[in-house]
Amino acid sequence: MKTKKQTKERKQLREVSSVSKDLKAEFETVYNDYDVIDELAMCEIEFEDE
């Protein structure tokens, strides 16, 4: 039988892991936006060379 303390700790761990998933998703979105910005910057540089 689990103690109340163990149950509380498990609940906290679950909350932490869900927060870290949210942060990871947010980070990936930002990172993908940067990739797009890099692509655009590369295109602009290529056009300037012509």
Is the pLDDT at 15 greater than 80? The verdict is yes
Q: How many CA atoms lie within 13 A of 23 on its CB side?
A: 6
CB atoms within 10 A of CB 32: 10
Residue 29 sits at the vertex; the CA angle it makes with 25 and 34, to the nearest 5 degrees, is 145
Q: How far is CA 11 from the centre of its chain?
A: 22
Q: Which two tokens stand for residue 36?
A: 């797009």
Is the pLDDT at 22 greater than 80? The verdict is yes
- pTM for this entry: 0.38
Is the pLDDT at 11 greater than 80? The verdict is yes
Check residues 9 and 43 and name the one with the higher pLDDT: 9
